Amino acid sequence: MSFFYLTPVKGELPIHLLEIIINNRLEHLKTVFGGAPETYNEYVIEGSVYDNVGHFTLCIMVILCVNREFSQFFMKAELEQFKRRLAALSAYEMRSFSKKLLRTIKKYENVPTHVQSLEVLCQHLMLKEVAQHVCSTCVNNCTVHKISVNFKSCLPLVARRQVELRNGIAEIPCSRWKQYLVMLFSQNLKNRLNNTGFETLKSDPRIMGLLAEIRNNYTLVEDKTNVLKSKDVDKTSLYFPPCMLNLHQSLRKKHRLSHSQRFYYSLFLKDIGMPVEEAIEFWRAEYRLHPNGSHSCCHTWEKDEKKFLYGIRHMYGLEGCRKNYTSVNCQRIQSTDNACSEGGCPFKSFDSSKMAPLLQGCTEPVMSKINELKSKNMYTSACMMYMQSCHVESTGCDNSSFNFTPVKYYMTASKNIVN
């Protein structure tokens, strides 16, 4: 597959994997958009299946989102990424990039004008000596090689008088070929975003769930008012799902959390908007205090400051392999063995007496419905029932428990305050 993204890959993929792929791509694009150097990300390796799936799925999201700012962000970031990848190609890679594109173009029934021009360019770039020239010795204003294309497919070059025009045919010199490839990439992406309709997908709860998540994530980064500060966590915890509220209350009471739960809780706080410096402040304040009561965690901030700082920065993708960790979904929390921790999903692990402090304001009828769902092992549905009764107006919530996460709970609850 080529990172020009002419055609989407075919096949099946579990939705949770699709979610991971597009969240990783979005994070990656934010890095590229911000001008920062790229870090290794297994979901955005150029030309891979994940890379292709991520690109095309985000195209769908941009089309369905109908948000000018988001679509401009996506266009600019994808374009910047394409430029970086193109600049890094060796002559050998440039040849195989061109050959792959030519194989794809051959399968087209009707070839659009800009793809016809791409075909002409690739037919030249697949030649060994031409690729070597373009990737190593070609300098500004070099005209050793030229291609002839319809002038309509290179209007920006025509406007800047960077090509020779004869009878509607433009001659593009080799020193402009990489620039021209970027132009064609941009044109191809714009065509896709402007001329593709996905009306039927609007009734697909899986796609709409992903779209809602992207909207939340994108807003979180752009909107500085959504930054969660360490000092505000207590009041914000009103909208935490019971699992995270339980961890928060345990931490405040004992000033310690078991290793795995500290990891889950930190990622949750990160994903609802806590920046790294606030996370350091938050954990420092708790781990400076003496542990209250017995606890398996023997760390203190004084003794283990370096470890803590590294661990937190690592979680934010700033240390080590620079992987961007994201918080886990309910299914994962519910399937984890919590024998040595604070409890995981309370709907699964807690009895009524332990549940009661976490489900404040829950009426008797709702409580009995929750118990009924719990008895059928429908823990996520029980949680959603609670969320709707406390935080969400009946019309404002997607009822699908599909791939539900504590972050989704928080996003929905904090945006739909009725109490």
Binding site for ligand SF4 (CB under 6 A): 241-243, 330, 333, 345-347, 379-380, 383, 404, 406, 409
Strand order in the sheet with 146-150: 146-150, 169-173, 164-166
Question: Which 3 state secondary structure label does DSSP give 146?
Answer: strand
Q: Rounded CA gap, 184 and 187, in Å?
A: 5
Which tokens belong to 165? 């025009």
In the complex, minimum distance from the CB of residue 362 to ligand SF4, in angstroms, rounded to a whole number: 13
Q: Based on CB atoms, which residue is closest to ligand SF4, 243 or 279?
A: 243
Question: Closest approach of Cβ 256 to ligand SF4, in Å?
Answer: 21
Task: Give the nearest distance from C-beta 348 to ligand SF4 in angstroms.
Answer: 7
Q: How far apart are CA 411 and CA 287, in angstroms?
A: 28
Q: In whole angstroms, how far apart are CA 279 and each of 226, 249, 267, 283?
A: 15, 17, 10, 6
Nearer to ligand SF4, 22 or 243 (CB): 243
For the CB of residue 317, give the shortest distance to ligand SF4 in the complex, in Å.
24
Residue-wise DSSP of 147-202: EEEEGGGGHHHHHTT-SEEETTEEEEEGGGHHHHHHHHHHHHHHHHHHH---GGGG
Element (H, E) at 232: none
DSSP string, 310-352: HHHHHHTTSSTT-----PPPHHHHHHS--TTSS-S-HHHH--H
Least separation, in Å, of the C-beta of 330 and ligand SF4? 3
**Residue 242 or 317 with smaller CB distance to ligand SF4:** 242
Smallest separation, CB 264 to ligand SF4 (Å): 9
DSSP 293: S
Cβ distance to ligand SF4 smaller for residue 317 or 406:
406
Nearer to ligand SF4, 50 or 347 (CB): 347
Q: What is residue 132's three-state secondary structure?
A: helix
Measured from the CB atom, is 59 or 383 closer to ligand SF4? 383
Locate 266 and state its tokens: 């930190």
- Closer to ligand SF4 by CB, 5 or 239: give it: 239
Question: Nearest approach, Cβ of 404 to ligand SF4 (angstroms)?
Answer: 6
